[in-house]
Amino acid sequence: MTKPPSASRFRPARRLASLSDHGGLVAEIDRRRLLRGGFSLGALAMLTGCDVTDNDAVQRGLRAVSRWNDRVQAALFRPDKLAPTYDRAQVVKPPRFNAYYGIEDVEPVDGAAWRLELAGLIGDRRPWTLREINALPAQTWIYRHVCVEGWDYIGQWSGPNFRLFLERIGADLTAKYVAFRCADGYTGSIDMPSALHPQTILATGYADEPIADPFGYPLRLRTAVKLGFKNPKWITAIEVTNSYPGGYWEDRGFNWFSGL
């Protein structure tokens, strides 16, 4: 199911395999080794070496700092601070594509056959059809999409508010994480406070039309308080959990919280 990486805008690392081998690091951080190895003068003296970042001890140290930065960002996050919003005239059409492969490799999802599976700390885990999603009250937001690469655009997204959806399915709103699985094999997760932010929605529409295939039809996450890669497209399953779920890019070294 997972597509091979190709030359897309937001592309995977060349040393994908070696970095994937370190996936377990995300879950387990050894602080003493950070101090002993990651920031030793020896490691710093090797700064000019091209592989220093992938060195086990250095990578362990850098990921420990990244986890610390997760905590700092969670502390900085204000649940009711709204992102700036814009006029319809400023909306970019179509939105800018991003995935771990090129737009030509997008496999459209059949909306009629599509189901949204629910798992984890959720009271009612019955799957949802697109018709049921569309029957929920929708809201429209025009805010900025910011990619970790450095580009951004203003987009207009509509769909049910995510907090409303989580309440409707009886999710445990005190749980730590909301995780997503997507039709293309992509995975991702966000913290519960960001999931409950007023500008976080399950988007089904863009600029008054259903979302086009490359941008996540039939359902994707849109949140104003996270970088672009934290907005999974073509969502097929949502899980509410207290155990750290990681994600496609996060497992490859990108900062997990990635809050705006």
Provide the token pair at 207: 């600029």
- By the rule CB under 8 A, 54 interacts with other proteins: yes
Burial class of residue 102 in the structure, from the number of CB atoms within 10 Å of its CB (0-12 exposed, 13-18 middle, 19+ buried): middle
Segment interacting with other proteins (CB under 8 A) among 52-60, 158-166, 178-186, 231-239: 52-60
Min dist CB 84 to other proteins, Å, is 5
Member of 77, 125, 212, 213 binding other proteins (CB under 8 A)? 77
Segment interacting with other proteins (CB under 8 A) among 106-114, 158-166, 181-189, 250-258: 250-258
What are the residues whose beta carbons fall under 8 Å from the beta carbon of 76, sequence distance 6 or more?
259
CA dihedral over 83, 89, 94, 97, signed as positive or negative: negative
**Dihedral through CA 177, CA 181, CA 187, CA 189, nearest 10?**
-10
Segment interacting with other proteins (CB under 8 A) among 72-80, 104-112, 174-182, 214-222: 72-80
Member of 35, 74, 76, 135 binding other proteins (CB under 8 A)? 76
- By the rule CB under 8 A, 60 interacts with other proteins: no
Distance CA 189, CA 246 (A): 6
Residue pointed to by tokens 């997503």: 180
- Binders of other proteins in range 153-212 (CB under 8 A): none
Please, are residues 67 and 253 in contact by the beta-carbon 8 Å criterion? no
Min dist CB 3 to other proteins, Å, is 19
238: β partners: 118, 180
Distance between alpha carbon 173 and the CA centroid of its chain, in Å?
19
Strand 235-241 relative to strand 117-120, pairing: parallel
Min dist CB 182 to other proteins, Å, is 20
Distance CA 132, CA 211 (A): 17
Identify the CA nearest to 192 among candidates 165, 172, 168.
172
Min dist CB 17 to other proteins, Å, is 13
Distance between alpha carbon 100 and the CA centroid of its chain, in Å?
12
Is 61 or 214 the residue whose CB approaches other proteins more closely?
Answer: 61
Member of 146, 169, 173, 212 binding other proteins (CB under 8 A)? 146
Is 204 or 258 the residue whose CB approaches other proteins more closely?
Answer: 258
Segment interacting with other proteins (CB under 8 A) among 107-115, 146-154, 181-189, 204-212: 146-154
Tell me how far apart the terminal alpha carbons of the chain are, to the nearest angstrom.
Answer: 31
- By the rule CB under 8 A, 91 interacts with other proteins: no
- By the rule CB under 8 A, 35 interacts with other proteins: no
Segment interacting with other proteins (CB under 8 A) among 58-66, 101-109, 160-168, 182-190: 58-66
Q: Which residues bind other proteins (CB under 8 A)?
A: 13-15, 19, 44, 47, 50-54, 61-63, 65-66, 69, 76-78, 81, 83-84, 144, 146-152, 224-225, 249, 252-255, 259-260
